[in-house]
Amino acid sequence: MTKPLLKVEHLRIEFDTRRGILVAVDDISFNVMPGEVFGIVGESGAGKSLTGQAIIGLLEPPGRIGAGQIHLGAQRIDQLPYHEMRRLRGKKIGMIFQDPLTSLNPLYTIGKQLTETILTHSDMASHQARQHAIKLLDEVGIPAAEKRIDHYPHQFSGGMRQRVVIALALCVNPSLIIADEPTTALDVSIQAQIIALLKRLCKEHDTAVILITHDMGVIAEISDRVAVMYAGRLVEVGNVRDVVKEPKHPYSQGLMGSIPSLHHRTELLTQIDGAMPRLTEIPPGCPFNPRCPHAFDRCRRQRPDLLDTDPTRAACWLYGEKSGALE
């Protein structure tokens, strides 16, 4: 069996506030295998982006990792000093952010930013780094790469800037890339191109990807496995086909039921009543219980862990050996 490239174990992310400690991500665990595309999906505020930031060591104070461990290969990385984590970023873990304008320095040319990253994390000479940068720009679909390498970010369209960011993330062949909403700021037609590009490049470079998004269409198109997050917790994990076709958790069922089908005519799409609770108002037991049409007494008292629901794993007492309905 291949060992996981990334292991996240019982991760807890906290924020210090005047009213006490707020728990934004509460005891989540998952593995990512080499070359796998692992999707994390959920509503805004579910804790998806915070999870990605914790993995790459970019949590902003007052946020912090309150408990748990993160391992990249055989190395534990959640407790690394700042300078060691900075060396790791780019070399072993790449990042693709939601807005390419925030990822690129407007004062430097695209070539300067690419070559600087390559030189920092490799032994290439300057002229070799420039040639490698041109090759990368060509690989991600930037036309006339030899000329455009000396252009500034504002001279590129949104879709082209995102291609540059993908090149930046791949420039020293990291083993893992975290892509945080990589298509949100783009037109629908450009989104499809970026998804296809990311899928192709990661397969060619044998790079694992954590894809963070709220768009189930993107997840279904590119991911191998998917984790559904709700209120800072994992509610379902499984192969993407199983989660899309046979979701087990009521929240996952609501997400999938809200997607229109081209093959079946429906009068009304599934609606999930209510809204995700604030961090200060997460209820006891299952956090989804106030919105769940199947909730019973045990759901309101006891938090479920991920249970084997075949073919996925879901955090729901409907699949417990001792259903709360009988208690």
**Residue-level pLDDT, tens digit, the chain, 327 residues:** 589 999 999 999 999 988 889 999 999 999 999 999 999 998 888 999 999 999 999 998 899 999 999 999 999 999 999 899 988 988 899 999 887 778 899 999 999 999 999 999 989 999 999 999 999 999 999 999 999 999 999 999 988 999 999 999 988 889 999 999 888 777 888 888 888 888 888 888 889 999 999 888 888 888 999 999 999 999 999 999 999 999 999 999 988 877 776 667 767 777 788 899 998 899 999 999 999 999 999 999 999 999 999 899 999 999 975 444 434
The pLDDT value given to residue 261: 67
Q: State the pLDDT at residue 198.
A: 85
Residue 323, pLDDT score: 46
* Sheet with strand 307-308: strands edge to edge: 93-96, 176-180, 208-213, 37-41, 225-230, 233-239, 313-314, 307-308
| Helix and strand numbers, DSSP H then E, in the chain | 12, 12
Q: Is 25 exposed, middle or buried (0-12, 13-18, 19+ CB in 10 A)?
A: buried
Give the model's pLDDT for residue 203.
84
pTM over 0.85: yes
Q: What pLDDT score does 321 carry? A: 59
Q: Is the four-CA dihedral 63, 42, 40, 306 of positive or negative sign?
A: positive
172 is written with which tokens? 């020293």
What separation in angstroms does the CA of 231 have from each of 36, 126, 216, 223?
Answer: 25, 47, 18, 22
Phi, psi of 8 (to 5 degrees): -110, 120
What's the rounded Cα separation, in Å, for the pair 216 and 142?
28
The rounded distance, in Å, linking the Cα atoms of 9 and 65 is: 12
3-state secondary structure of 31: strand
